Structure 1
Amino acid sequence: IADRFPATALLAAAAMALSLILGIAMGAIAAAYRGRATDNVLLVISLALVSIPVFWLGTMLLIAVAATIRSFPLGGYSGATSLILPTLTLALGSAGYYSRVLHTSLCDAFDQDYVRTARGKGLSRTRVMLKHAMANALLPLVTLAGLDLAGLLSGVVLTETVFNWPGIGRLAADAVFNLDIPLIMGTVLFSAFLIVVVNLLVDLLYAWLDPRIRLAEIG
């Protein structure tokens, strides 16, 4: 498990970074153009990304790249380029889900009194979103991203199997097929440990993002 964890951690970090960048960008743009054509288009795109099965998307990416770029690595880990396809496979679905969550949170924040007060002071819509609404809207996203990160660090069986990635997910799949009970128990226990640690970090991050939590603890 210790030998396979660095490969899984690298893939998890890359996928989480890309999914957050795409999801936050899509959610913020959709909320800024709420009720317009841009919002509707991004809604359809995000729903499509969420609905695509991971194993199917990974297989289609392999077929498309193999047919167009013959020298591109299609499996295993042989450098930074081999990280592109599995990262896209993992990140696209999460990005669609994050964009819808952030869109809903931002739309709720726009209807709050503190946002209307900020607009009444003459602040631009962009500044109101980034400085006032975004801080509260990110709180639900932090929880979801933390749980997803724990799952990614525990190993993503389908993606690592499709791309022959030397991580914990593929190790767990091999252990199941080989009926290696100690290794199966080890991967499950390691996954549970990661979930507990990530949940603790999410709680600490909540206190940093939301001053009301810190004030409540002090009071």
Structure 2
Amino acid sequence: MRAYIFRRLLLLVPVLIGVTLFIYGITMFFSPIQRATLYVTSIRQLTALPAIIEQYGLDQPFFVQYARWIGEVLTGNLGWSNVAGMPVWDAIWHFLPATLELAMFATPLIILVGIVLGSQAAAHKDKPLDHGTRVAAIVGWSLPTFWLGLLLMMIFYGYFRGLLPPGRLSIQMDMVVNSAEFVRYTHINTLDAILNLNGPVFLDALRHLVLPVITLSVVNVAFIMRLMRSSMLESLGKGYVLTARAKGLSERVVVNKHARRNALIPVITVSGYLLAALANGVVITETIFNYKGIGWWAWQSAVRLDIASVLGFALFNAFLFVLVNLVVDILYTRVDPRVRLGAAVQ
């Protein structure tokens, strides 16, 4: 297993080089003056653009510029975010807790509901439960995220007069959170409310999470459910399942103990990338509900042509997906012994 993990780590090096080359290469479509604004912190510094171009070598050959940029990235200098009014690296950590909170509630719901419904649909193939879950999955998968989000907003915020509001907190609770008595341990409102033993803040944060979590869950649950069903049907037709049934084991044991474990392998991959996508911020959902996470920040940066912020978001996004890919590969070794065996043979 150690050899397998070591090989995967070695493969990350060329991947990361390729990703950073691609991301920085995109900026070459902009002029040196436009790229110099990456390092400008205020309008007053616009007169210093020629000096910045010379300082960072923005008029040098591509690979010279790339090497300098990598050096800046390794020291944590991703430029200045005009949208956030702070360095890009600080902006990422400023908006990330909000998105992590959203992912923290949405991801377990998506995975658990999708796996359970998909497993049951496969175990009751061509029965009413299977037909019902398949119809629900098709409907859920076909709903556009922006349409569902706007519909939920119209019903639960408009028609029911603010029952489930957008944003992260109400004005009153936001004042409490930013007061001296409330300690911001993680900047994740629900978790900080628990640590501060503040029930009103916790409940208010939950109210604001309901609509975006539902919006994210509907489409993704449908996808996980369909994937789990097809994977489960394939596992139920394998020889080891037939052998388990021949031994007289109950259908419940056959499904839960023998078939489901192997059926989870493709679901693990998709779930890993789903978590990474949610942690990077679902741009449409966060924008609709004015949920100021990293996706909302990326959208605002793109609209305002904040090159440094968009570049920093893309880089963070790429590194997170590479990391998730490594974690998923390691989980494979736990779920599928053939991966460990293959590494040992090689």
- Shorter-chain TM range is over 0.9
Which residue pairs with 2:156 in the alignment?
65
Q: Is 2:164–2:210's contact at 8 Å kept on the other side of the alignment?
A: no
1:142 correspondence with 2:268: yes
After superposing the two structures, state which structure 1 stretch, 95-104 or 35-44, moved more.
35-44
> Which amino acid counterpart does residue 16 of structure 1 have in structure 2?
T
Which residue pairs with 1:4 in the alignment?
95
Secondary structure at 2:93 match in 1: coil
5 Å-filtered alignment, 1:1-219, equals: 1-67=92-158, 69-78=160-169, 79-219=205-345
Alpha-carbon separation, structure 2, partners of 1:149 and 1:119: 35
Q: Is 2:165–2:207's contact at 8 Å kept on the other side of the alignment?
A: no
Alpha-carbon separation, structure 2, partners of 1:41 and 1:72: 30
Alpha-carbon separation, structure 2, partners of 1:174 and 1:42: 38
Deviations 1:124-170 (A, max 9, x none): 11111110100100000111111121111111110000000010111
Structure 1: stretches of 5+ with no match in the other structure: none
Alpha-carbon separation, structure 2, partners of 1:47 and 1:168: 30
> Which stretches of structure 1, 4 residues or more, deviate above 3 A after TM superposition?
67-71
> Which amino acid counterpart does residue 108 of structure 1 have in structure 2?
E
Q: Is 2:96–2:293's contact at 8 Å kept on the other side of the alignment?
A: yes
> Displacement of 1:108 after TM fit?
0.8
> Which amino acid counterpart does residue 64 of structure 1 have in structure 2?
I
TM-score, length basis structure 1: 0.96
Q: Is 2:212–2:285's contact at 8 Å kept on the other side of the alignment?
A: yes
> Displacement of 1:66 after TM fit?
2.3
> Which amino acid counterpart does residue 214 of structure 1 have in structure 2?
R
Alpha-carbon separation, structure 1, partners of 2:342 and 2:296: 44
> Displacement of 1:192 after TM fit?
0.5
Q: Is 2:140–2:219's contact at 8 Å kept on the other side of the alignment?
A: yes
Deviations 1:69-92 (A, max 9, x none): 435242111212211110110011
Q: Give identity over the alignment, percent.
A: 40
Secondary structure at 2:94 match in 1: coil
Alpha-carbon separation, structure 1, partners of 2:276 and 2:265: 17
Structure 2: stretches of 5+ with no match in the other structure: 1-91, 170-204
Structure with bigger gyration radius: 2
Q: Is 2:117–2:225's contact at 8 Å kept on the other side of the alignment?
A: yes
Alpha-carbon separation, structure 2, partners of 1:65 and 1:19: 22
